[in-house]
Amino acid sequence: MTFSERIRKTADPIWKASHEHPFVQGIGHGTLDIESFKFFMRQDYKYLIEYSRVMAMGTVLAPDLDTMSGFAKALDDTLNMEMELHRSYAERLGISREELEATEPGPITHAYSSYMMAEAQKGSLAELIAAILPCAWSYYEIGLELATIPGATEHEQYGEWVRMYASEEFGAIGDWLIGKLDELAEGKTEAELDRLEAIFLNTSRYEYMFWDMAYKQEGWPV
Ligand SMILES: Cc1ncc(CN)c(N)n1
């Protein structure tokens, strides 16, 4: 079993909970309250800005030019493909670009982004990848699963979201990160692998919490 297969297996109960979350199922069945989706898009835009910074740190920690290029490509795809989806939805939903960028990060957005950044700053490249991998990998899995729901890819409101996350172009980011992590995991001690697994599990949990936060449109309590 590769290291990525091992951590995917350990994280399975968390990922299942995300797949079954009413926010995710609501996108697939076209029943999600649009206000929750708007809340999600605004928070997600802020999250993706921080995620992009972590990707940029990947280029700094990269040991060779191939790895550097891989991070640069993933960064460009995030800034100009994935975030373009948010900008286009925002325009359609009456949210200006300024409003999108000025959104105050909610508690989960803040905690998740800060955790990713902290792991990237104190760890090695393997730790950085373990922290960002659930982001790229789980959305592709969710996109592919939702795309099998009849009508999901054609839905007037959520079809574009499903198509983007189910696309091969988006999936390639996660595939590249999986390959890199497996490469970097080779020769590591069991204690080091356990540490990478713990980071992967934590950001998998944050993924679930992010869906839940958006569903409940949860801001700061006071
Ligand atoms: C919170 C979150 N996690 C993952 C993704 C997919 N890049 C995202 N857009 N937002």
Each residue's pLDDT tens digit, 27-42: 999 999 999 999 999 9
Question: What's the whole-number mean pLDDT along residues 183-206?
Answer: 98
In a domain, 42, yes or no: yes
CATH (domain of 18): 1.20.910.10
ipTM above 0.85, yes or no: yes
Q: What is the pLDDT of residues 67-85, one digit of tens each?
A: 999 999 999 999 999 999 9
Cβ of 170 below 6 Å from ligand 1: no
pLDDT for residue 123 is more than 90: no
**DSSP class of 81:** I
Domain that holds residue 122: 3-216
Question: Would you say residue 222 lies in a domain?
Answer: no
Q: What's the total number of domains in the chain?
A: 1
192 is catalytic: no
Q: Does the Cβ of 207 fall within 6 Å of ligand 1?
A: yes
**Is residue 10 situated within a structural domain?**
yes
* 144 has pLDDT over 90: yes
Judge if pTM exceeds 0.95.
yes
Whether 6 and 197 have beta carbons less than 8 Å apart is answered as: yes
**Of 82, 127, 135, 141, which is the active-site residue?**
135
Contact 222, 128 (CB under 8 A): no
Contact 67, 80 (CB under 8 A): no
pLDDT, the chain, mean: 97
Active site includes 218?
no
210 close to ligand 1 (CB < 6 Angstrom): yes
